[in-house]
């Protein structure tokens, strides 16, 4: 059985009798708005199972401490809650808008200081979108939450006064934790050399086959992605599929219907299809010219 040392305390005492005050914090129901109902006392969660299961094979649990979890990059997000942070698409959008506003404001400022003083009103006007985009980015904080008490994997959405949790899956629906990768290229100048590298991130695989990235992609950092995947697998009591260099997770089902997660190199079939399409268009063009 997994033990969460210093993260989750011993099972809470029985609910107090009616009229008796309690010091417990109100629970947050996954998928609901706000932070729970004042005075509501949730029943104690059921004890965790003796071991997770994957593809029909039981796996014994292991002891894990809060120090181990924090060393893997996880932060606490309240009592019995661990934070798995990443930059969501919404946060990236607000950050890009803020950077573009910074560039625009900087260009107008240089114009005012070096060339045309009449651009000063435009410079002050550019401060409005700059401030709005900064406010949007600053007020947005979205991340995944590992709810140890209720054994739920949640997505936490925070935007200004809006703050709620959304259920992703219970621990029992998480089949495996592993890594994924993307190939990146960059060319230095028009005639410069092309650089190639791989970026890696941690993903969670649900029993439905859905793959959910839970970390940012990091350049040539497979070890960190594997470490986080291993720690999450121990918490979820799911299988840890060790990530391989330049590979992606492939989800299949065996003859008995059990989910199997493997690491394989990305298929280059799409590249062959692009070449065939280009060749076909070129061939059709030549044939059309001959019959004219």
Domain total of the chain: 2
The dihedral over CA atoms of 271, 276, 277, 280, expressed in degrees to the nearest 10, equals 170
CB proximity list for 12: less than 8 A, separation 6 or greater: 24, 44
Evaluated on CA atoms 57, 63, 68, 73, the torsion sign reads: positive
Confirm whether 288 is domain-assigned: no
Residues 98 and 128 in one domain: yes
Residues 131 and 251 in one domain: no
Residues 116 and 101 in one domain: yes
Local confidence pLDDT in tens for the 292 residues of the chain: 444 444 444 445 454 444 443 333 333 334 333 333 334 444 555 554 433 333 333 344 444 555 555 544 577 777 888 888 888 888 889 999 999 999 998 988 888 888 777 878 888 888 998 999 899 888 888 999 999 889 999 999 988 888 888 899 999 999 999 999 999 988 777 777 888 899 999 999 999 999 999 999 999 889 999 999 999 999 899 999 999 999 999 999 888 888 999 999 887 655 566 667 776 776 776 766 666 6
Confirm whether 205 is domain-assigned: yes
Q: Are 245 and 223 in contact (CB under 8 A)?
A: no
Q: Which of 138, 154, 177 is the last residue of a domain?
A: 138
Residues 93 and 161 in one domain: no
Q: State how far Cα 137 lies from the chain centre.
A: 17
Q: Which domain, by its residues, includes 173?
A: 4-8+28-35+46-86+142-264
Q: Residue 55, by phi and psi: left (phi above 0), alpha (psi -120 to 50) or beta?
A: left
**Tokens 């703050």, residue located:** 163
Residues 181 and 53 in one domain: yes
Which pTM value belongs to this model? 0.62
**Tokens 């506003």, residue located:** 101
Residues 134 and 158 in one domain: no
Residues 227 and 186 in one domain: yes
- The pLDDT value recorded for residue 243 is 92
Residues 132 and 71 in one domain: no
> H-type helices in the chain, by residue range?
66-71, 89-114, 120-138, 222-236, 269-290
Half-sphere exposure at residue 137, Cβ-oriented, CA atoms within 13 angstroms: 17
Q: Give the tokens for residue 20.
A: 């008796």
Residues 98 and 236 in one domain: no
Confirm whether 17 is domain-assigned: no
C-alpha span between 175 and 168 (Å, rounded): 13
C-alpha span between 251 and 173 (Å, rounded): 15
CA nearest to 27, candidates 43, 49, 5? 43
Residues 125 and 242 in one domain: no
Confirm whether 249 is domain-assigned: yes
Confirm whether 275 is domain-assigned: no
Q: Give the tokens for residue 63.
A: 């002891």
Residues 121 and 225 in one domain: no
Residues 191 and 121 in one domain: no
Confirm whether 292 is domain-assigned: no
Confirm whether 75 is domain-assigned: yes
Q: Angle at the Cα of 189 (from 184 to 191), degrees rounded to 5?
A: 100
């Amino acid at each position: 059985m997994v033990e969460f040392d210093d993260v989750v305390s011993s099972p809470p005492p029985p609910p107090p009798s009616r009229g008796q005050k309690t010091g417990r914090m109100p629970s947050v129901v996954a998928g609901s708005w706000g932070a729970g109902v004042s005075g509501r006392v949730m029943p104690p969660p059921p004890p965790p199972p003796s071991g997770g299961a994957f593809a029909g094979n039981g796996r014994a649990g292991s002891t894990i401490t809060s120090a181990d979890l924090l060393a893997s990059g996880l932060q606490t997000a309240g009592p019995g809650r661990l934070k798995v942070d990443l930059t969501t698409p919404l946060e990236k959008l607000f950050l890009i808008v803020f950077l573009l506003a910074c560039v625009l404001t900087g260009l107008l400022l240089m114009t005012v200081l070096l060339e045309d003083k009449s651009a000063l009103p435009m410079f002050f006007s550019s401060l409005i979108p700059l401030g709005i985009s900064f406010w949007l980015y600053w007020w947005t904080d979205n991340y995944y939450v590992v709810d140890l008490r209720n054994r739920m994997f949640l997505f936490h959405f925070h935007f200004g006064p809006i703050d709620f949790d959304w259920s992703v899956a219970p621990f029992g629906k998480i089949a495996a934790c592993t890594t994924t990768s993307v190939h990146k290229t960059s060319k230095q100048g028009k005639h410069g050399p092309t650089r190639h590298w791989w970026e890696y991130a941690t993903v969670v695989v649900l029993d439905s086959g859905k793959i959910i990235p839970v970390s940012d992609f990091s350049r040539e950092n497979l070890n960190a992605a594997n470490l986080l995947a291993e720690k999450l697998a121990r918490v979820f009591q799911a299988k840890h599929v060790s990530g391989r260099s330049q590979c992606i997770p492939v989800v299949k089902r065996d003859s008995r219907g059990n989910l199997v997660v493997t690491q394989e190199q990305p298929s280059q079939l799409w590249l062959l299809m692009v070449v065939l399409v280009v060749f076909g268009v070129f061939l059709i063009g030549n044939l059309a010219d001959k019959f004219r």
